[in-house]
């Protein structure tokens, strides 16, 4: 698939003597919102790290916009890809706006960010509903508030690929829905997005594609719209999941 | 549009520069010997010499030394995300001390044309640098935890070796060694001071110019890497620059390290965590603090002198504890 912006080609990754990922293949096109799912230790975060260039694959390579990620400079990569970490240190003594402005690192040329950079950062904070925290010190924000600020920093980077390691962590239910709605709207405008998530219903409702990692590889790769019509893939996540019809007729994953 | 941050930065940095210049002009007049201002004005000795040679060189050394130490401290604290990280706690300075102590103990006054203490300090710092960086390298990447742990370990080894050398030296050298280990500022000739300035000045500018990169690293390594910073290279150059700043200063002043720990913390509690403001202010205010403490040490128990390092610890230590107690520190 030549139109893929992210192309994972037979990527393997070993930790010591353990194979975490073994010849994983995955292509993501602009406009796709991919939920990366699987059990703890399935290699979800590792896969995201390899795509982001944070870890080097033991074998295989990832192409970003047609070029091998290992051959791109950190600046080239940061122009293409933004990565939302699972968490950052809690004692950070910078203002929230300064953290968002860090997303402009590769774009801003001066020692201080320009008025344009500030406008982009302010816009990103508005979209992530955190502009009201702009002057707060990051260490005083709650987990969910901090998560929205970090997401705003990723948007301020204006990436073509957004990698999110559990973006819904710390978010209350309303903010989880807001966050996934925002990500769905952004990807519809051409961004590619890979999000690690454990919430099956959230993924099936908002994502365009579900990728389930199991047994060191991609076990299932499904269109989100029809995924729940043939729900055997849920076993790869937990045997205690089952599809029930919901009140509005849409299938819904419940617990046994 | 002039943003709020730019305005705040400009105010803080301008105030620190003014304080730095004022200290350079005023502090040479402070000392145990009362100067006859008429003689100074007419450039008559000894008053003119005391002021222009002894006290001015000493004040400038204190200003630059305090600046270099505070800058190196804030660099290590940001880069390694560790409140206690400074070249003093992480081995480099102790390595420099060990080198200096060995050259004093062996009575090497001059080594390949430069002062034995200088040469010893630089070799000592370089050896520590080599060992710590070698230990912290994994798959061609430097790791922060590796730098911290290896640094602390080497620090205690160097401390033990200093005690060993001290125990093995004869009477006269052991006095010189202990005098040096107390640390403190003294008048130096202007050619040495010029050499020191030629090392510290450009290096400090280079470190401060990279402040955005240190800001990214202060959040986290993967954060910095995915915003576009070359993390391993930044850690390498930052560690090297901080070490050279510390080693050059240790060579001239002996081990006086507290400035490097305390000034960045005091600044962060006031101006926030942006290294674009913290770093230049740390340099200028660090210099002012050390030079003022040295001036105070000259007069407070005159004719005896209290070393500047002791005064900074007396003033800075309780202040730091008070800030921790109030919870305004990070």
- Supply the pLDDT for residue B4: 53
Task: Test A85 with B230 for CB contact under 8 angstroms.
Answer: no
Task: Test A111 with B230 for CB contact under 8 angstroms.
Answer: no
- Supply the pLDDT for residue B1: 35
Residue A132 lies in a domain: no
Task: Test B212 with A105 for CB contact under 8 angstroms.
Answer: yes
What chain A residue is nearest to B1 in terms of C-alpha separation? A115
| Total structural domains within chain B | 1
pLDDT in tens, B280-320: 999 999 999 999 999 998 888 878 888 888 888 888 888 88
Around Cβ A159, how many Cβ atoms within 10 Å? 21
Task: Test B231 with A74 for CB contact under 8 angstroms.
Answer: yes
- Supply the pLDDT for residue B178: 82
Instruction: Using DSSP, state whether B46 is helix, strand or coil.
Output: coil
Around Cβ B319, how many Cβ atoms within 10 Å? 13
Task: Test A82 with B226 for CB contact under 8 angstroms.
Answer: yes
Which has the higher per-residue pLDDT, B192 or A211? A211
What chain B residue is nearest to A137 in terms of C-alpha separation? B272
* Cα-based angle B97, B98, B100 (whole degrees, multiple of 5): 65
Phi, psi of B187 (to 5 degrees): -65, 140
Residue A142 lies in a domain: no
pLDDT in tens, A157-216: 999 999 999 998 888 999 899 999 999 999 999 999 999 999 999 999 999 999 999 999
Domain that holds residue A83: 6-87+159-255
- Supply the pLDDT for residue B95: 93
Residues in chain B within 8 Å Cβ distance of A73: 230
Task: Test B219 with A137 for CB contact under 8 angstroms.
Answer: no
- Alpha-carbon span B269 to B327, nearest angstrom: 10
How many percent of chain B have pLDDT more than 90? Answer: 36
What chain B residue is nearest to A51 in terms of C-alpha separation? B226
CA-wise closest residue to B230 among A105, A67, A59, A98: A105
- Alpha-carbon span A28 to B70, nearest angstrom: 48
How many percent of chain A have pLDDT more than 70? Answer: 99
Residues in chain A within 8 Å Cβ distance of B273: 92-94, 98
Which has the higher per-residue pLDDT, B186 or A78? A78
Band of pLDDT at residue A230, cut at 50, 70 and 90: confident
Task: Test A157 with B211 for CB contact under 8 angstroms.
Answer: no
What chain B residue is nearest to A116 in terms of C-alpha separation? B1
Which has the higher per-residue pLDDT, A13 or B317? A13
Interface of B with A (CB under 8 A): 1, 3, 5-6, 9, 81, 139, 209, 211-212, 215-216, 218-220, 222-223, 225-231, 268, 272-274, 276, 330
Residue from the list B212, B216, B225 with its beta carbon closest to the beta carbon of A54: B225
Query: Is there a contact between A62 and A222 (Cβ–Cβ < 8 Å)?
Result: no
CA-wise closest residue to A136 among A103, A90, A94, A172: A94
> Could you tell me the CA-to-CA distances from A173 to A37, A202, B298 in Å, in that order?
19, 10, 65
Residues in chain B within 8 Å Cβ distance of A89: 81, 219-220
Count Cβ atoms within 10 A of the Cβ of residue B224 and give its class: 0-12 exposed, 13-18 middle, 19 or more buried.
buried
Band of pLDDT at residue A2, cut at 50, 70 and 90: low
Residue from the list A74, A89, A118 with its beta carbon closest to the beta carbon of B225: A74
Task: Test B226 with A52 for CB contact under 8 angstroms.
Answer: yes
Residues in chain A within 8 Å Cβ distance of B268: 93
Interface with chain B: mutation pick from A55, A111, A122, A162, highest number of B CBs within 10 Å: A111
Band of pLDDT at residue B328, cut at 50, 70 and 90: low
Residue A111 lies in a domain: no
| Total structural domains within chain A | 1
Task: Test B226 with A53 for CB contact under 8 angstroms.
Answer: yes
- Supply the pLDDT for residue B2: 42
Which has the higher per-residue pLDDT, A59 or B174? A59
DSSP A133: G
Question: Exposure pattern of B248-273 as b/e (b: 16+ CB <10 Å)?
Answer: bbbbbbbbbbbbbbbbbbbbbbebbb
Residues in chain A within 8 Å Cβ distance of B227: 78, 102-103, 105-106, 157
- Choose the weakest-confidence range: A94-103, A110-119, B108-117, B191-200: B108-117
Residues in chain B within 8 Å Cβ distance of A85: 220, 222-223
* CA–CA min distance A7, chain B (Å): 18
CATH number of the domain that B33 lies in? 1.10.3470.10
pLDDT in tens, B263-282: 998 898 888 889 999 999 99
Write down how long chain A is.
256
- Choose the weakest-confidence range: B181-185, B192-196, B220-224, B276-280: B181-185
- Supply the pLDDT for residue B113: 56
Task: Test A94 with B215 for CB contact under 8 angstroms.
Answer: yes
* CA–CA min distance B81, chain A (Å): 9
Query: Is there a contact between B250 and B260 (Cβ–Cβ < 8 Å)?
Result: no
Which has the higher per-residue pLDDT, B51 or B313? B313
Band of pLDDT at residue B15, cut at 50, 70 and 90: very high
Residues in chain A within 8 Å Cβ distance of B234: none
CA-wise closest residue to B80 among B165, B144, B28: B144
Domain that holds residue B149: 4-326
Q: In what order do the strands lie in the sheet with A18-28?
A: A18-28, A6-15, A59-64, A67-68
- Supply the pLDDT for residue B329: 57
- Supply the pLDDT for residue B272: 83
> Could you tell me the CA-to-CA distances from B192 to A226, B247, B251, B254 in Å, in that order?
77, 15, 11, 15
Task: Test B229 with A74 for CB contact under 8 angstroms.
Answer: yes
CATH number of the domain that A182 lies in? 3.40.50.300
At residue B23, does pLDDT exceed 90? Answer: yes
Interface of A with B (CB under 8 A): 49, 52-54, 56, 73-75, 77-79, 81-83, 85, 88-89, 91-95, 98-99, 102-103, 105-106, 108, 111-112, 115, 118, 137, 139, 157
Residues in chain A within 8 Å Cβ distance of B222: 49, 52, 54, 83, 85
Residue A214 lies in a domain: yes
- Supply the pLDDT for residue B111: 62
ipTM value greater than 0.95: no
- Choose the weakest-confidence range: A60-64, A246-250, B22-26: A246-250
- A vs B, Cβ pairs < 8 A, gives 87
- Supply the pLDDT for residue B139: 67
At residue A84, does pLDDT exceed 50? Answer: yes
pLDDT in tens, A128-159: 989 999 999 998 998 889 999 999 999 999 99
Phi, psi of A251 (to 5 degrees): -65, 150
């Amino acid at each position: 698939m030549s139109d893929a912006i992210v192309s994972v080609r037979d990527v393997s990754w070993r930790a010591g003597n353990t194979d975490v990922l073994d010849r994983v293949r995955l292509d993501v096109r602009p406009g796709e919102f991919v939920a990366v799912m699987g059990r703890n230790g399935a290699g979800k975060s590792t896969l995201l790290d390899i795509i982001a260039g944070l870890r080097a694959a033991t074998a295989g390579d990832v192409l970003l916009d047609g070029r091998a990620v290992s051959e791109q400079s950190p600046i080239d990569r940061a122009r293409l890809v933004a990565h939302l970490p699972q968490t950052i240190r809690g004692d950070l003594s910078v203002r929230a706006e300064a953290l968002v402005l860090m997303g402009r690192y590769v774009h801003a040329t001066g020692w201080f960010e320009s008025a344009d950079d500030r406008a982009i950062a302010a816009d990103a904070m508005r979209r992530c509903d955190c502009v009201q925290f702009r002057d707060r010190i990051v260490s005083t924000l709650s987990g969910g508030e901090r998560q929205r600020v970090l997401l705003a920093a990723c948007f301020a980077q204006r990436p073509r690929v957004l990698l999110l390691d559990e973006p819904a962590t710390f978010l209350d239910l309303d903010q989880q829905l807001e966050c996934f709605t925002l990500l769905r709207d952004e990807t519809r405008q051409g961004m590619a997005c890979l999000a690690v998530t454990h919430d099956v219903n959230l993924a099936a409702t908002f994502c365009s594609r579900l990728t389930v990692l199991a047994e060191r590889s991609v076990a299932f790769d499904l269109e989100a719209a029809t995924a729940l019509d043939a729900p055997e893939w849920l076993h790869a996540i937990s045997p205690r999941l089952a599809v029930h019809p919901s009140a509005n007729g849409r299938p819904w994953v419940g617990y046994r | 549009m002039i943003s709020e941050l730019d305005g705040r930065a400009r105010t803080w940095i301008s105030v620190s520069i003014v304080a730095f210049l004022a200290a350079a002009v005023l502090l040479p007049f402070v000392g145990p010997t009362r100067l006859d201002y008429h003689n100074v004005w007419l450039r008559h000795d000894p008053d003119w010499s005391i002021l222009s040679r002894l006290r001015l060189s000493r004040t400038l050394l204190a200003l630059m030394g305090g600046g270099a130490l505070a800058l190196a401290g804030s660099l290590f604290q940001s880069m390694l995300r560790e409140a206690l990280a400074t070249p003093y706690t992480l081995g480099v300075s102790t390595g420099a001390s060990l080198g200096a102590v060995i050259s004093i103990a062996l009575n090497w006054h001059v080594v390949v044309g430069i002062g034995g203490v200088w040469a010893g300090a630089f070799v000592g710092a370089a050896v520590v640098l080599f060992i710590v960086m070698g230990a912290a390298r994994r798959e061609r990447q430097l790791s922060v935890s590796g730098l911290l742990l290896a640094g602390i370990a080497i620090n205690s080894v160097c401390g033990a070796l200093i005690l060993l050398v001290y125990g093995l030296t004869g009477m006269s050298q052991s006095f010189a060694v202990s005098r040096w280990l107390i640390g403190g500022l003294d008048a130096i000739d202007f050619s040495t001071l010029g050499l020191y300035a030629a090392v510290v000045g450009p290096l400090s500018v280079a470190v401060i110019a990279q402040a955005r990169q240190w800001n990214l690293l202060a959040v986290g390594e993967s954060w910095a890497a995915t915003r576009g910073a070359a993390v391993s290279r930044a850690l390498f150059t930052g560690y090297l620059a901080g070490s050279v700043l510390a080693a050059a200063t240790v060579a001239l002043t002996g081990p006086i390290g507290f400035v490097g720990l305390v000034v960045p913390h005091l600044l962060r509690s006031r101006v926030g965590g942006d290294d674009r403001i913290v770093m230049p202010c740390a340099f200028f205010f660090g210099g002012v603090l050390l030079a003022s403490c040295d001036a105070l040490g000259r007069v407070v128990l005159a004719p005896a002198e209290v070393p500047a390092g002791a005064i900074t610890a007396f003033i800075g230590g309780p202040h730091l504890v008070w800030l921790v107690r109030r919870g305004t520190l990070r």
